[in-house]
Amino acid sequence: MSTYRSLQRTEAEARAALLTVESYDVRLDLAADESTFASTTTIRFDSLGGPTFVDLKPARVHRVVLNGSALDPDALDRGRLPLETATGPNELVVEATMRFRNDGEGLHRSVDPVDGRHYVYGMSFMDAAPSVFACFDQPDLKAPYTVTVLAPHDWTVVGNAPATNPEPGLWHIGPTQPLSTYFVTVVAGPYHLVRDEHDGIALGLSARASLAGALEADADELMTMTRQCFDEFHRLFGIRYPFGDYHQAFVPEFNAGAMENPGCVTFRDQLVFDTRVTRGLKMSRATTVAHEMAHQWFGNIVTPRWWDDLWLNESFAEYMGVRVTADVTEYADAWVDNSYARRQWGLTADLGPGTHPVAGNGAADAVSALQDFDGISYAKGSTVLRQLAGRLGDDVFLAGVVDHLESHRFGNATMHDLFASWERAGAGDLSAFTDQWLRTAGPDVIALDRAAGVLRRTPPAGHPADRAHTLRVAVARGGRWEVEQVTVEGPETAYDAGDAPVVVDPFNDTWAAVVPDTATVTALADLLPSITDPALVAGVWNNVRTALHLGSVDPAAVVDLAVARFPVEDTGDFPHVAVPRRTIPWVFQTLVPLAPEGSMERLHAAVLARLETLEPGSEEQLAAFRAAIRSATDPAVLRGWLGTAPSGIEADLDLRWRVLVRLAVLGATDAAELDAELAAAPTAAATVEHTRARASLPDADAKAWAWARFTGEVDVPNYELEAAGLGLWQPSQRELTAPYVERYFADLPATASVRSGWVLADAAEAFFPATSIERSTLEQARALLEAPDLADPLRRRLADGADRLARMLAVEEAHPA
């Protein structure tokens, strides 16, 4: 895995100057074996003549033929097969055997524990395509694809273009529109399908057979949102969706929320709801659907030339996805949910050691580019685009976007190209905006100095900027909140708040780290329960979270706020979904470990009190009950809930495993009971939560069991690997896990030899000793960061973990519990 070379930007530029790819013909045999598959690729391309290479990551290479002449398969070196191309047309044929993967990349194969059926999907993002087919793997060598798939007769196959099935087990897809390699996918297996049509576009949904009932139940909402979004995107852009069918495949063990493959978008299949969920999660799914649909124009019709412009895909889709969801679906409050779910993700990244500009972030090679696929690319970039849209107005903003899409249709473009389109549309000179907001890393910090009567703006250290912020301020006067607009310019802007509590930028008008003053935090304990505007509540929590991150608020005061109004409304999270950015998980993962002793009990009492006031059967009641489970310290109470849930709560499998995980943390269950629970209902979600619970048990065997997954001694799929890491480290088990602190730093580098890509970095983060809030742990992390041969994905996640730990230590020192 670490033996593969990452494509350098200079190499990509040289290859793009040499080659024009005409077509790919890919043949995949998925029926012959459960561990490998046959892959035959024919690439037709023109060349100026001379040496280059094709990317290939096989189990074995059987035959390579260039222009009728056989090449030596043993010439393959670290994922590259050298070619001596002829001037003019060339044809390359590569026959290889490839490995199915279980890490969410390449061609991922999984077995549904419910019924033993096998499922396959392709994830070609970044540098995974060569593990499926031979290719020139860079975004600016687009070409049409024709894909032939041999599959078991009971499988259905879907891809980037409408598929035909001329005989059992044989499927033909394409030719497609010109695609970058990282968009190519095949989704194959005994999937349950739902089909529809809208405005001449064939629509499809698919999920595992064991989720058929849940997919049918969700189909109306999913199809309705899809139709609404298509209509709005067509209205906004005036450009028809050009990729034929629009299929949305919900696939198992998917790393990201979704991937925008043209014609066949893949989603993690927890977004098909087979247990009861809150409105927050439904809204999150809606914005994800709209986000991926926005990509069909921005990213798929026009694709960045290189990975340093990845933000052109993600920032745009983030902005348009939330905007369209709020404007045309039932989720008019989508911006509030986005504030809870994404704002702090982006700010934490922008305040951290890995901060980088939204645009022009360097990205010398593909692997380093993947490290910048973060909250800055999504949340910060989206906010900046929203600011720009407000500044230009829709007429100019959308006219520039349309010009960009039409000028580079099915091609590649850069940030310069997009901003040139906006300037042609009437935006004027945008160079100052670009320099300050997109090319300068880090956020300004804005804080109220009440005594001086000013709002102070502090640019990020090491990244000087002079950004003006036009934002709203909410002021509590006479028992009501008044909203006024302020422009913060220069280091100080006069602002006289008197004695009134002030919340600066609660509605995310700008991108900045906003810190509330002590008087406001103190007053909020009384004010927060009566705030009726959900956007203002979200803004309050975001400012408080930023303040704790920067060490400028006492954790005890934040606990007081949570007790006053525990934030149950925004609980859109659920286990095994990587959205630890919402407020409730933050309360337990970050706040409680820093708070005074007894804070967990106070929070639990507050949640129970809140639970008593909520309507039985409401989503707020469900969210509060989840928080009650998470905060419970009495095993007897939890055991009682296993038997009888409160009136209005459906004791489904999701809630049952929440209780079991908490019992495991408290040492009130054992491996035998957990194994029996899994055997009774062996779903994919239960398998993951079983792993989390097993790793959470407070005994040496459980920790060794989890650690064997980290080192690769025991190979498990990506979700189970992450769950083992998150379960291992528990604040109440620090003495038990202490030996694993040193082992983490000793064993981490070698994990690059057993896994790669997305899951390599995710495992490094999940197993980081987050509960060891000790100076010695920080010193070990910083020492390993000095190792010159540490893999880049590990270095980035280790640096982020060390930064979080350093900030927690700083809070402890500034505000002793």
**Cα 703 from Cα 744, distance rounded (Å):** 12
| Residues contacting residue 762 through CB under 8 Å, at least 6 positions apart | 255, 578, 718, 721, 722, 797
Instruction: Report whether 288 contacts 257 (CB < 8 A).
Output: yes
Query: How far apart are alpha carbons 620 and 610 in whole angstroms?
Result: 10
Greatest distance between any 2 Cα atoms in the chain: 85
* Cα 606 to the center of its chain, rounded Å: 31
**Token pair belonging to 426:** 């009437």
Q: How far is CA 106 from the centre of its chain?
A: 18
745 half-sphere exposure, CB direction, 13 A CA radius: 22
CB 142 within 8 A of CB 124: no
Distance CA(453)–CA(143), nearest Å, equals 60
Per the listing, tokens 């041969």 go with 789
DSSP 523-582: HHHHHGGG---HHHHHHHHHHHHHHHHTT-S-HHHHHHHHHHS---TT----TTSS-TTS
**Tokens coding 620:** 């707020």
- Distance between CA atoms of 206 and 266, rounded to whole angstroms? 10
Q: What residues act catalytically?
A: 292
Q: Which of 6, 89, 106, 91 is nearest to 49 (CA)?
A: 89
Hunting for tokens 């609404």 — which residue is that? 228
Distances (CA, A) of 136 to 13, 16, 23: 12, 9, 11
Residue 525, phi then psi, degrees to nearest 5? -60, -35
Three-class HEC string of 717-753: CHHHHHHHHHHHCCHHHHHHHHHHHHHHHHHCHHHHH
Residue 318 to residues 294, 351, 459, 468, Cα–Cα distance (Å): 8, 20, 25, 23
Beta strands at 492-494 and 60-66: parallel, antiparallel or unpaired: unpaired
* Residues 237/301, Cβ–Cβ less than 8 Å: no
- Are the C-beta atoms of 455 and 495 separated by less than 8 Å? yes
Task: Go through 34-66 and write b for each residue having 16 or more CB atoms within 10 A of its CB, e for each that does not.
Answer: eebbbbbbbbebbbeeeebbbbbbbeebeebeb
